Structure 1
Amino acid sequence: MDSKYDIDRLHCDVLVIGAGGAGLRAAVEARLRGADVLVVSKSLFGKAHTVMAEGGAAAAMGNVNSNDDWKVHFRDTMRGGKFLNNYRMAELHAKEAPERIWELETYGALFDRTPDGRISQRNFGGHEYPRLAHVGDRTGLELIRTMQQKIVALQQDDERRGSEQTIRVLDETTVTDLVVEGGAISGAVGYRRASGRFFAVDAPAVVLATGGIGRSYKVTSNSWEYTGDGHALALRAGADVINMEFIQFHPTGMVWPASVRGILVTESVRGDGGVLKNSEGERFMFRYVPDVFKEQYATTEEEADRWYEDPDHNRRPPELLPRDEVARAINSEVKEGRGTANGGVYLDIASRRSEEFIRRKLPSMHHQFKELADVDITAEPMEVGPTCHYVMGGVEVDADSAQSSVPGLFASGEVSGGMHGSNRLGGNSLSDLLVFGKRSGEHAADFAANASEARVSDGKIAEAVENALRPFANDGLNPYEVQAELQKVNGRLVGIIRRESELVEAVKMLEDLRETVENAAIGGGRAYNPGWHLALDVRNMWLCSMATAKAALMRKESRGGHTRDDAPGMDPEWRKVNLVASLGEDGISLERKPVPEIPAELRRLFDEEELAKYMTPEEYGGDGEEGQE
């Protein structure tokens, strides 16, 4: 214990920051490999944002359509990301996702079943075949429940064996700083939210699994924890983040009442037959199918409806286009005056499915709308609109090990970048958590086993504590006003549709907000002080917002979750470029780095005509030798 600050000192082999799907899977794998593991969770244990991932986990198990395999899944993921993905991450994900789902079942997960008893799989946007293993419309909750049970089982086994090493969990805990000494991770400093008491953790390996940045936007599906903590921790520790310009606006968030605007309406509604209509009653998505997708998506209602009845029918309804396409289409309908009175469109499943079907397949959605909006989705349509949902950008990591450029610092889940390219397909998030959660835990444990003893120095502790306590001595705005100002900038200038003049304005306004963010002031004590928590969170949100705005300004094309009104269409030259953000004395700076080149054996999974839509001729060959298998 440090006498000056009365700080608790802890030690572990692997520190996992975040207790969602990626963090818990990392913790389990690290413990299975013999590491002593500490998990810290910002929220109550079991309440991580993963529980809101409702539709399912994408894995090419072929249980509903036997034509599905990892190659098709890889192909869909690359198409969804507009070929900006780290191909190796997409390859590993597609190959390993089925095993991770079957493994989850051995841990006790209770998936919905097909008539012959296999794990059921449902349709989702951008996936060629029914691919999402699901538990009604509450799959994320089942994943978290199952991983918690596995951790309890491992703890009980350690107790029976009298092992000094185990998995420990600290919930309602915030990590404020990662500590790097001697060029590698030595641990972290943070505090318990209930008491305000500080602690330091000596750990040679840290796994970031902190999720996204959505609370930087006012209209968001993200829970309160998503303030970009992991992204900012990594930047301050000297790691890089990539692809921050790509933010996914989920097409369907609630738009009414205002108190719940942005809350997610799962893609399962569309996957199970729901259709989108404008205020004129028109099923409008047929107008918005991009040329690159016209061979795979239906052009008439009759053809689209065949998809749900005939598993072999290969032309999907346009409501199941990738999320970026659907979100832009809804945005266009509203801007052109065909939106609802509350600024959205209608999502109708009531006229297409029976009450029994809806209550059985979408129980959470039925309950959500009835309780929050007094809307019975078995009898009337929902009002929905785009909501900030997911950031494709995150910590730049090695594809196989999930390690960042800082030795001992790993990242998995939404906080890591590269896997999804410019746009994530629905359902890929939960399988991503499992695949790379396992890999990060595995490699973090191996790193720790071969590392020298780590210890956070007293000087680093003092620096971190004094920085965290500054809001008590500041005399600026309260942090709620600061967050509101930040959200206004992002929502107005760095939203779903962007243009150069507005992005220039956004960068200037964010720069002007820097001092305001640093001077956020709070009163009261350290125990149970949400103002203090937010004063620290808003620093992280500001860093992420600046990285996003600068990258969005630099990338002069439209691709995936980044739409430039003044630079429409994808540019094959920009497809070869990742924008990599780092933090220096002058703030966020950007560097252009090449996207990893897709090897020939994986390029052969696509035909030349398709590759030509994304790549330059020298990249894809252009000689007819690399057609689809």
Structure 2
Amino acid sequence: MSSLGHQVATSVLVVGTGGSGLRAAIEVAEAGVAVVAVVKHTADGVHTAVPAGGFAEPPDVAHARDPWERHAADTLLEGHLLADPRTVEVVARHAAQGFHDVARYGTHVDSRGGTASAGSCTGVGVQRALRARAKHLAIPVLPNLCVTRLLVDDGTVFGAYGFDLVDGSRYLVHADSVILATGGHARIWRHTSSRRHENTGDSLRLAVEAGARGRDLELVQFHPFGLIRPEIAAGMLISESAHSEGGVLLNNLGERFMTRYDAARAELSSRDRAALASYTEIKEGRGSQAGGVWLDLSHLPPETILTRLPRVHQTLLDLQKLDITQDPVEVVPTARYCLGGVWVRPEDHSTDVNGLFVIGEAAGGLHGANRLEVNSLLELLVYGRLAGRAAAEYSARLTGQRRSPAAIRAADGEVNGLLSADGGQSVRGLQRLVRHLMTEYAGVVRDEAGLAAGLAQLDEIEARMADISVHVDIGGFQELAYVYDLRSSVLAARATIECALERRESRGCHNRSDHPGTDPDLTATLLWSPSTGVRREPVPPIPTDIAELMYDVAADDKPAE
């Protein structure tokens, strides 16, 4: 096969069709600029599907007494002062526009105390509205396409190379600008809420290999209520409503242990604190036999569960044949959301590579060391629009199209080489080893010795990757895609561990047992690349008007996603 299998030309290429990718593609199409989106699964796969929650309702719609500055102040506090104040300001200022866009696309949004919500399926509702709008605009979507690398010439992107997972045919996509929107890297942990074969760090790898940098990659949010079983549903999150309605966490002694970690709020504590508490109970031998703790609602009246938590009740009946009106369910801290990502400019999420933009969970800057619940959907709506517009304008300014035959040949040769690989190492076996070491050494709690051991094991895995085998069968070219998943995972794992080693403190979601306190000198961004390793950069100063709103709000009083 050669790279001439399929050639596509467009002004803007969007990689990923979750909420942020679709929002960016819509913006480009509405500007009258040619856009193509590609996705590694079927075109109708649903992303951005959170179990509950919402996004910040803009102050001019709901609460005039709550200016955008209050939203910015809350975000900075929740992020433990590691969020980029300029990025935070952009999201807070543009929140109203994000809300109006969703309404324009047909999503019904309820007003509930300053939060816009489409019921318990907010993410799904927004995703469906975006998909409907993209379909109305006839945005071309190429499904089942695994992008193996971005095509770059002299620091400027000019497209992407990939292959079809079904028939293996190659795709050469020429594009003036590229927007990466494939999510974070939470799948590199054993317990994760990410779907299989997603969130292995594709955007991070593609961007870094093209010449971009990562930022704050040690900052990963763990959710305390992930299911342990069955295997097909491991990591699925139980709705926040389960504990807000009175659910309690128990260890194997039957103790309600959260009262020891947060006497005032117990299970209503912040998610990072609840995850840390559960981790500690498990690590000290007070967990369940399967390695979790128990979320118990059986003390509540059955009618409360059946009327207030019907979806949770039915889901567990379906998955585990478990009746939560009578029995507790095992849960475990679960990798939920990557707070760091690719370094991007706060104005438009452009990167160090000319013409390359990164949005959504793949980008860093907004969240800092913990995430304000309302910001995940807002981020994709705000920066999907801004990056889409910037990519379209970048394309319009170009007077010619770059091409590099050498870059195309290298991408083609790489895939050819992998297809002929017939070594003794299993790609999926190595992937499992990555998830194991990240859970063991770089999970909820880290320390110097464990992180160093994790790096040593990662070195061994990388050495074994030179002897992998790739087999194509009647099921298609999925195993070839697994190779790239593994490469992304290994790069993301190395970046996470190296940054975690550098951050010798405990702050927000980042817990170092050997450095339990917060170090003021580490109120800094950690930038990472394979060539330079980790470098510190000061966090820009917080504007005075926002800083003045922060003094009377305790970060621990704000709910985190």
Q: Please report the TM-score for the alignment, with normalisation by the length of structure 2.
A: 0.91
Moved more, 418-427 or 131-140: 131-140
Does the C-alpha gap of structure 1 residues 437 and 379 become closer, same or farther in structure 2, counting only changes over 3 Å? farther
- Tell me, yes or no, if structure 1 residue 288 matches structure 2 residue 236: no
Does the C-alpha gap of structure 1 residues 456 and 482 become closer, same or farther in structure 2, counting only changes over 3 Å? farther
Structure 2 Cα separation of the partners of residues 406 and 210 of structure 1: 18
Displacement of 1:48 after TM fit? 4.2
Q: Which residue of 2 aligns with 1:173?
A: 145
Maintained 8 Å contact 1:19/1:39: yes
Q: Which residue of 2 aligns with 1:252?
A: 225
Maintained 8 Å contact 1:84/1:421: yes
Which of 596, 601, 610 does residue 545 from structure 2 map onto?
A: 601
Structure 2 Cα separation of the partners of residues 375 and 94 of structure 1: 42
Within-5 A mapping of 1:323-362 = 323-349=271-297, 351-352=299-300, 355=303, 362=309
Within-5 A mapping of 1:33-72 = 33-52=31-50, 54-61=52-59, 68-72=66-70
- Tell me, yes or no, if structure 1 residue 120 matches structure 2 residue 64: no
Does the C-alpha gap of structure 1 residues 274 and 59 become closer, same or farther in structure 2, counting only changes over 3 Å? farther
Structure 1 Cα separation of the partners of residues 386 and 363 of structure 2: 13
Structure 2 Cα separation of the partners of residues 441 and 499 of structure 1: 40
Deviations 1:110-132 (A, max 9, x none): 33xxxxxxx133xxxxxxxx544
- Tell me, yes or no, if structure 1 residue 186 matches structure 2 residue 186: no
Read off the aligned partner of 1:138 and give its amino acid letter.
Answer: C
Maintained 8 Å contact 1:60/1:73: no
Does the C-alpha gap of structure 1 residues 239 and 376 become closer, same or farther in structure 2, counting only changes over 3 Å? same
Q: Which residue of 2 aligns with 1:229?
A: 202
Maintained 8 Å contact 2:57/2:96: yes
Within-5 A mapping of 1:378-389 = 378=325, 380-389=327-336
Structure 1 Cα separation of the partners of residues 107 and 82 of structure 2: 33
Q: Which residue of 1 aligns with 2:559?
A: none
Does the C-alpha gap of structure 1 residues 150 and 259 become closer, same or farther in structure 2, counting only changes over 3 Å? closer
Deviations 1:480-527 (A, max 9, x none): 111112122211111111110111111122122212224321123597
> In percent, how many aligned pairs have the same letter?
35
Which of 229, 235, 244 does residue 262 from structure 1 map onto?
A: 235
Deviations 1:309-359 (A, max 9, x none): xxxxxxxx453433211210121233344434443333345655764x656
Structure 2 Cα separation of the partners of residues 400 and 273 of structure 1: 42
Structure 1 Cα separation of the partners of residues 23 and 282 of structure 2: 41
Maintained 8 Å contact 1:46/1:145: no
Moved more, 335-344 or 455-464: 335-344
Structure 2 Cα separation of the partners of residues 49 and 275 of structure 1: 30
Which of 512, 517, 537 does residue 564 from structure 1 map onto?
A: 512
Displacement of 1:211 after TM fit? 0.2
Does the C-alpha gap of structure 1 residues 34 and 563 become closer, same or farther in structure 2, counting only changes over 3 Å? same
Structure 1 Cα separation of the partners of residues 514 and 194 of structure 2: 29
Deviations 1:80-131 (A, max 9, x none): 21110011112222232243123212211133xxxxxxx133xxxxxxxx54
- Tell me, yes or no, if structure 1 residue 418 matches structure 2 residue 365: yes
Within-5 A mapping of 1:610-629 = none
Counterpart of 1:486 in 2: which secondary structure?
helix
Displacement of 1:363 after TM fit? 5.0
Structure 2 Cα separation of the partners of residues 544 and 209 of structure 1: 16
Q: Which residue of 2 aligns with 1:436?
A: 383
Q: Which residue of 2 aligns with 1:20?
A: 18
Deviations 1:9-68 (A, max 9, x none): 111111111100100111111111221111111122232431245432233559887764
Moved more, 280-289 or 232-241: 280-289
Q: Which residue of 2 aligns with 1:312?
A: none
- Tell me, yes or no, if structure 1 residue 150 matches structure 2 residue 133: yes
Structure 2 Cα separation of the partners of residues 63 and 380 of structure 1: 43
Q: Which residue of 2 aligns with 1:366?
A: 313
Counterpart of 1:84 in 2: which secondary structure?
coil
Displacement of 1:403 after TM fit? 0.6
Displacement of 1:539 after TM fit? 0.8
Read off the aligned partner of 1:84 and give its amino acid letter.
Answer: L
Structure 1 Cα separation of the partners of residues 326 and 454 of structure 2: 43
Structure 2 Cα separation of the partners of residues 245 and 540 of structure 1: 16
Counterpart of 2:518 in 1: which secondary structure?
coil
Q: Which residue of 1 aligns with 2:464?
A: 516
- Tell me, yes or no, if structure 1 residue 211 matches structure 2 residue 183: yes
Structure 2 Cα separation of the partners of residues 254 and 171 of structure 1: 30
Within-5 A mapping of 1:548-559 = 548-559=496-507
Does the C-alpha gap of structure 1 residues 343 and 154 become closer, same or farther in structure 2, counting only changes over 3 Å? same
Maintained 8 Å contact 1:249/1:386: yes
- Structure 2, unpaired ranges of 5+: 556-561
Structure 1 Cα separation of the partners of residues 429 and 100 of structure 2: 47
Maintained 8 Å contact 1:136/1:360: no
Displacement of 1:420 after TM fit? 0.5
Structure 2 Cα separation of the partners of residues 366 and 71 of structure 1: 40
- Structure 1, unpaired ranges of 5+: 112-118, 122-129, 156-166, 290-298, 301-316, 612-629
Counterpart of 2:192 in 1: which secondary structure?
coil
- Tell me, yes or no, if structure 1 residue 578 matches structure 2 residue 525: yes
Read off the aligned partner of 2:186 and give its amino acid letter.
Answer: G
Q: Which residue of 2 aligns with 1:503?
A: 451
Q: Which residue of 2 aligns with 1:308?
A: none
Structure 1 Cα separation of the partners of residues 542 and 30 of structure 2: 33
Read off the aligned partner of 2:224 and give its amino acid letter.
Answer: P
Q: Which residue of 2 aligns with 1:462?
A: 409
Deviations 1:280-308 (A, max 9, x none): 5554434324xxxxxxxxx55xxxxxxxx
Deviations 1:164-207 (A, max 9, x none): xxx21111111111111133111111111111111111111111
Read off the aligned partner of 1:376 and give its amino acid letter.
Answer: D
Q: How many residues align?
A: 553
Q: Which residue of 2 aligns with 1:109?
A: 107
Structure 2 Cα separation of the partners of residues 351 and 63 of structure 1: 40
